[in-house]
Amino acid sequence: MKELHLICNAHLDPVWQWDWNEGATAALATFYSACDLADEYDYIFCHNEALLYEYIEEYDPALFARIQALVKAGKWHIMGGWYVQPDCNIPSGEGFVRQIESGLTYFKEKFNQRPTVAVNFDSFGHTQGLVQILNKCGYEGYIFCRPMVELLDLPKMVFKWLGFDGSEVKAARFQDESIYCSELGNAVNAIKRKMQPWEKEDIAFVLWGVGNHGGGASRKDLTDIKGFVEEQKNNGVCVFHSTPEAFFNKVMPDVEYDAALQPCLIKCYTSIARIKHKYAELENKLLRTEKLCAYADKEGAYTYDLSAFAEAQKTLAAIQFHDVLSGTCIIEGEKSSLQKAEYALELLDKQFTKAFMALCGGYEKAKPGEYPIFVYNPNPHAEEQIFNAEFYLQTPIVSETEGYEFTIRKNGEEIVPYQKIKESSCVNLDKSERLAVKTTLNPLSLTRFDVEVRRGKRVYIDKTSPKELTNANQTKVGFNPTDGALNSYMVGGKEYLSGSAFTPVVFDDNPDPWGWNMKKVGSNYRKPAAKTAVRVIERGDLLTSVESIYDTGKSDIRVAYTFYKDFDYVDVTVNVYWNDGGKGLKLEIPVQELGRFIGQTAFGTQEYGRETEECSQRFVGIEKDGKVLAVFKDGTYGCSVENGKLYLNLLNGSVYCAHPVGDLPIIDETRFNRYIDLGRHEYTFRLEVCKESELEKKATAFTQKPYALNFYPHGNGVKKEESPVRISAQDISLSAFRKVGVNTYMVRLVNNNKDGVVCDCTVFDKSISLSFGKYEVKTLLYENGDLREHASMLTL
């Protein structure tokens, strides 16, 4: 070794075994100490996470000013540049970009700094999709610590990490028993130990400083390091205080690694299901609201509130924090994180409603007796689909024989088919109505429907339990009358299931929410009995729904299937009322043929191994002979394939923040412990057979559904129905469309496929021809009437 870079840090979780406010106090104490030591010693303090700097700026402006001066003097280094150190598996590609954008925007504004090495020391595994994101966000290097050596073998400590699209970034895993930390006053001994894995390298770095709850350096440590520097000089090693950028500027990796940095702490894919569901809801709401508001802003119907969106985006970034989104924090952290998410959802709801009503207001007034329904479609492709709309009638009908009938006209002319389905209200009269409507919606814009109401016969559905249903495309489904499950799914004459699918499976679990030393989740699988099997709840011209209810002895689980007359997919809703502490819950899907086990990750499709727990985002499936038996999902991530069956992990049987320590029991079982996933949960899935190239678009359509509202227009607003973004290729998906500055709009397009695609994209009144490579993401800017491709994913 010729050169050793000492990177002093104070890893500080904003929330973990403490809540956010205590994280702020730890940051204040740590940053005060770092400033005081910087006045006495010639060292560099490195710290990341914009959220912590925001705390300092708000709670102690004088301290913040000291930090700004030290940054300018080069004694304090802005490291990483992200808003927090996030979970690096669950956020979508767009979610990661927003994490980076929120952090870099802050550091540029407050410190005029732009880090080029990203650091996620404590995140529990890292998706391969990060490589393209890092590359196109201007990062040259990436430092991580997990998964550690015993979980993942890497070719070298520093390597070229390759992305799905062929891009690359320099990456370094720092490995040590204390990873990023050192004990207070014992830094030199830790540094000596941490040097050992680098013995064969010319240039090395070491992470040191008191971490976990902050602390950083101490006077004793810095004094001891002075002596250590002189000692190593005699050994021919140049040791100095440094930064991640300085280290990566000196190294050029000569080996490549073309895979995800996994597996790592696999129960984190499922733990604290409420946070994961709420995160998915917020991410989808942000992206959907941006689209509508950018459209309304350009048409002059609404003024885009950049500050409201920035605030919501920072909240999204905050709850990506690895001990929150991974589900390893205490119950107070769960509660406050959910509160933050609800705050952001309310911000977005206000902006969405302003834009939506402004656009609706430009339409003609409704005729007497008509109920106008306006529907916003957040997706850029015009395809036939079913949306649900609910509205409240003026006069109730209380009768066993009479009820309301409807005629629905699209754009005042075309009559569209509908089916009455169960409304949200449980008042037993005909006044609150919910309709399923089949139509093609205008892409990325509004469509108007007018509902004409008349009195007619009350409709009673045929509740005869079906064994088999066939639709107009000859797609067939079958149901097992004993266990209440879907046991046949035949598309194009081919059977895809080999047994009862989406059946609940209870398993034995341990209290540890991380899953230390585990490769798969759970043991001793068993199926609860169905106490209500295949009960028909909807039947009509568009769809049939059945439900089955299961009883574990302590918990109730309801699984409902909806099969459509004109569409080949099956929608599945699962309601869980969980009271089985220490037990977990999965859904089991036996497949007819095993093929490639694949799932969505950030801006990519990952192929997984067998018999291990994996993390997939909005789709997972089995690919065979060019077709994918896909499950689309919203807010669930853990999955596995075992013995010819696909498993979706819904709930773990863990306790809040129960970290294994040596040979001690994980929890004290002589007292009450809080199990994290007890209570009410709801999940939605879609089972469909499709091409692999269609998965991304279909996943977006499933998770960002149309929004419908009964609204009475006044005719004085802006009426505009042309899509603001038009994409010629069906396999190219729209990741984001939003306003990013004065007269500037951003469009992000994704080719989540292994084959290249050529397409045209029109944004407002300008068009551009694009050529996508495999898994390539492109960013476009429409600025002052000009449309161009933007090399960076960022628009800072």
pTM for this entry = 0.97
**Calpha distance 93→129 (Å, rounded):** 7
Give the β-pairing of 777-783 and 543-551: unpaired
| Angle, CA of 159, 162 and 166, to the nearest 5° | 145
Q: Which residues contact 1 (CB under 8 A, 6 or more apart)?
A: 195, 198, 199, 201, 202, 203, 204, 237
- pLDDT value at residue 722: 87
- Residues 401-432, buried b or exposed e (16+ Cβ, 10 A)? eebbeeebebeeeeeeebbbbebeeeeeebee
Question: Of 442, 290, 335, which Cα lies nearest the Cα of 381?
Answer: 442
The DSSP code for 693 is G
What does pLDDT average to in each consecutive run of 10 residues of the chain (796 residues)? 95 96 96 96 97 98 98 98 98 98 98 98 97 98 95 95 98 92 94 94 96 91 96 95 98 97 95 98 98 96 96 98 98 98 98 96 91 96 94 88 93 94 87 94 96 91 90 95 95 96 97 94 93 94 97 97 97 98 97 95 94 94 96 97 96 96 91 95 98 96 96 80 92 97 97 95 97 98 97 94
53-74 burial, b at 16+ Cβ within 10 Å, e below that, comes to bbbbbeebeebbebbbebbeee
What pLDDT does 64 receive? 98
- Residue 609 is predicted with a pLDDT of 87
Distance CA 16, CA 22 (A): 10
Helix (H, G, I), strand (E, B) or coil at 197: helix
- Residue 285's H or E segment, with its range, is helix 273-298
What is the bridge-based pairing of β-strands 370-376 and 707-710?
A: antiparallel
- Contact (CB, 8 A) for 632 and 702: yes
Cβ–Cβ contacts within 10 Å for residue 464, how many? Answer: 8
For 146, other C-beta atoms within 10 Å of its C-beta total: 23
DSSP for 154-166?
Answer: -S-SEEEEEPTTS
pLDDT of residue 430: 80
Q: What does the block give as tokens for 624? A: 């065979």
Tokens of 579: 């009271």
Structure tokens at 227: 């002596």
CA distance 770 to 761: 7
pLDDT digits (tens, 9 = 90+) for 325-353: 999 999 999 999 999 999 999 999 999 99
- Distances, alpha carbon 317 to alpha carbons 47, 88, 667, in Å: 18, 12, 31
